[in-house]
Structure 1
């Protein structure tokens, strides 16, 4: 039998930073390569070199293009990685957009910190820059969904549609006679833009996300909720600010608001989409129509219904626009992006409403807003929270507990072990119990940097 060492370099004990390294005598494979987000303590992990021999990694396999699954790639290259990064064509297109945007943000934040002197680092440096990203993109290689990719003799990978964002997949990794399944982030059974996830049918070892392992998403009446939010915005002559992930969530919100207007559920209120990255992602939707449900006409009508904000000057013009308005801006957990400018200016206005529409990781500004903090820090200064804060869970792109159990139900065998990753402690403990009750499978919750030996 052959030994495989699995190093849990991220996505363990936390929702972010997914990185699972498989080390064998013949090949080194890293599944996902994300940055840590959230508390300062966990973000500081991004500045440390990985506790493995990075140049010995032959392949990085990307489940999808979100920052917490691909955002560490430039740092991997800086540490000596010269292998190949494999993912579906839309995943690599999304990853390119996200990495370029991330590098720009890191450079701008370092420049701002040096100019205003609020960093204790002299000088403050970006985590990585645009040149690091360019070096990384040269290693990208697109693969087809559903096709076997030979990595080496007795090593094959297959990327299968899982409906989380455009291009996203789970990965079946065949090593000799064993199949290791990495769920990536599993999407919803019912989604306006994407098809239901495919399901694995065999898994000797299963690595499954547990973001919502302890709960089911509520059945929310989105039409009436948005109608009420828009009505309040009009009455208050204020702004409805929606921090949004640029990939999928932003497009879903655009689609939802367009459909509500079509149905006469909401008036023709100005809708500003202020996310350069989100606009770039729209182009990915246009380039890969087979990966989503929108027809060309629906796509065009949806885009024409909103005003796309491109320059930072237009951001300020939107803030100063006295009309009641809806603003959708990145980022979804209020960790960076254009939404920071809107909230720094409008969070202390009682006429404003902030609508959080996705998972908010520990330590993020989004989580602090969700938990009712009285003031939030932006660029070294605190802003009082006077705006009303609302939260919607049903727009999440992550499968909930029932959907995750459904995703696993077609597995014919009993896995030798199930690893619960990409989740907070309470969610993982609850999910572990639920899997044991439902299927009788043995689950393990790995710690960050834990190493587990498997035999194939």
Structure 2
């Protein structure tokens, strides 16, 4: 019989990135998510540090979904001796495979570029992990179905439950000695364009809830009207509209909305360039798992035919050299890497250009700098003046806002013994803490990176 559980907060605690929560028991050790830190330099440096735990003793990794800040540290875990199973839903593992291979390739390319152009302080600059490391990690993937209890040991079982954030994403219910631990993962929103509404937990003795937008209500704005206005203004300036986009979900949602706007004759047949190899690979995952989203096969095929896919870096430069007005959607969503950097390097200093931010921009990222009105921005060791128009549509975020979070918790029949607010910047988490006390009369806490909490069960 397990008498106590230790929770190690290795990531996404007082910050939105690097999700890692270790459940240590006398029977088994389970890591919930294994994400990479992004944004602030002091956080990114943590990616190079080993976990403060005996990694070979970790038996199992459970993944809520496939985003980089939830899976991107997995190859580093293997380099520290992890050899257990990595478990998620089928679409989550399909997306995680794409994300890890793309991340490894980008890191190898950026290290090579930094060494060639000598703009790194490190000599030599090294990738955080290689494609070979990523391939070894993928071999440990094991898919499990949604909404089915899986037994881990005599006292421990878990279940994945649909939560509507991205394709394949879930919250995790973990039963230990009959006590239920619920990890929200990143929660999606109701009435999403592509995904079904999140399921809700019914019971939670220990609740771990994301708080990305714990202090905000998404504006009641008409996304389609805003997009039409931004696109028509960009056309009027005869400029290029650049949309840095998360390759998973936001890119596919944008393709769908733009196709629908054209179908409704609200925008002209302006070229829409998709320059995100990873994003297109994820679009194929939508095709593989139709039960996980709302698109019909006819809609899927029509929206894919409406856009032009860039398949090589040479084609990227062909699009840059073609100065005709267009929409370019390219990774990454927080402007931390990927093909969008090449476009911004060429067009950020053009007054005719428009940059549209469509998701959460973490502290310390280029996306947050642009959102906050930076007058210059750094790419590849050089600074470029920001003369382009910067726009932001917050309501396109795939994250639940405060009302969505409260609604997700509204069917819980008991009063949780502990509520931990995670995956949020301090002001967001604290605002949700106050709101939970006001609305539910629940006490909650905001753990810090490195905290260890011991629970007697």
Alpha-carbon offset, residue 100 of structure 1: 0.2
Match of 1:238 in 2: 239
Alignment pair present for 1:324 and 2:321? no
What pairs up with 1:300-311 in 2 under 5 angstroms?
A: 300-311=301-312
C-alpha separation in 1, matches of 2:456 and 2:330: 47
C-alpha separation in 2, matches of 1:427 and 1:109: 33
Match of 1:295 in 2: 296
Deviations 1:345-392 (A, max 9, x none): 000000000000000000000000001111000000001000000000
Match of 2:378 in 1: 377
C-alpha separation in 1, matches of 2:420 and 2:241: 40
What pairs up with 1:33-52 in 2 under 5 angstroms?
A: 33-52=34-53
C-alpha separation in 2, matches of 1:92 and 1:202: 27
Alignment pair present for 1:141 and 2:142? yes
Match of 1:193 in 2: 194
What pairs up with 1:258-407 in 2 under 5 angstroms?
A: 258-407=259-408
C-alpha separation in 1, matches of 2:193 and 2:456: 41
C-alpha separation in 1, matches of 2:146 and 2:83: 24
Alpha-carbon offset, residue 331 of structure 1: 0.2
3-state SS of 1:284 partner: helix
What pairs up with 1:170-181 in 2 under 5 angstroms?
A: 170-181=171-182
C-alpha separation in 1, matches of 2:234 and 2:99: 31
User: Conserved in 2, the CA contact under 8 Å of 1:223 and 1:265?
Assistant: no
Match of 2:432 in 1: 431
Deviations 1:176-233 (A, max 9, x none): 1200000000000110100000000000000000000001100112222111111111
Match of 2:161 in 1: 160
Match of 2:230 in 1: 229
3-state SS of 1:152 partner: coil
Alpha-carbon offset, residue 235 of structure 1: 1.3
TM-score by length of 2: 0.99
Match of 2:128 in 1: 127
Alpha-carbon offset, residue 322 of structure 1: 2.0
The alignment of Structure 1 onto Structure 2 pairs a total of residues equal to 456
Match of 1:8 in 2: 9
C-alpha separation in 1, matches of 2:352 and 2:145: 49
Match of 2:57 in 1: 56
C-alpha separation in 2, matches of 1:222 and 1:37: 27
Match of 1:454 in 2: 455
C-alpha separation in 1, matches of 2:15 and 2:234: 36
Alpha-carbon offset, residue 414 of structure 1: 0.3
CA root-mean-square deviation: 0.6
Return structure 1 stretches of 4+ with deviation > 3 angstroms: none
3-state SS of 2:30 partner: strand
3-state SS of 1:394 partner: helix
Alpha-carbon offset, residue 455 of structure 1: 2.0
3-state SS of 1:6 partner: strand
Deviations 1:123-167 (A, max 9, x none): 111000011111101110000000011111111000000000000
C-alpha separation in 1, matches of 2:213 and 2:44: 22
Alignment pair present for 1:220 and 2:194? no
C-alpha separation in 2, matches of 1:181 and 1:64: 15
3-state SS of 1:172 partner: strand
Task: Identify unmatched segments of 5+ residues in structure 2.
Answer: none
Deviations 1:409-429 (A, max 9, x none): 000000001000000000011
3-state SS of 1:444 partner: coil
User: Conserved in 2, the CA contact under 8 Å of 1:200 and 1:408?
Assistant: yes
Match of 2:184 in 1: 183
Alpha-carbon offset, residue 10 of structure 1: 0.2
C-alpha separation in 2, matches of 1:257 and 1:220: 17
C-alpha separation in 2, matches of 1:227 and 1:344: 25
C-alpha separation in 2, matches of 1:228 and 1:172: 43
Deviations 1:75-111 (A, max 9, x none): 0000000000010000000000000000001100100
Alpha-carbon offset, residue 284 of structure 1: 0.2
C-alpha separation in 1, matches of 2:195 and 2:13: 28
Task: Identify unmatched segments of 5+ residues in structure 1.
Answer: none
Match of 1:413 in 2: 414
Deviations 1:298-324 (A, max 9, x none): 000000000011100010111111211
3-state SS of 2:349 partner: coil
3-state SS of 1:187 partner: coil
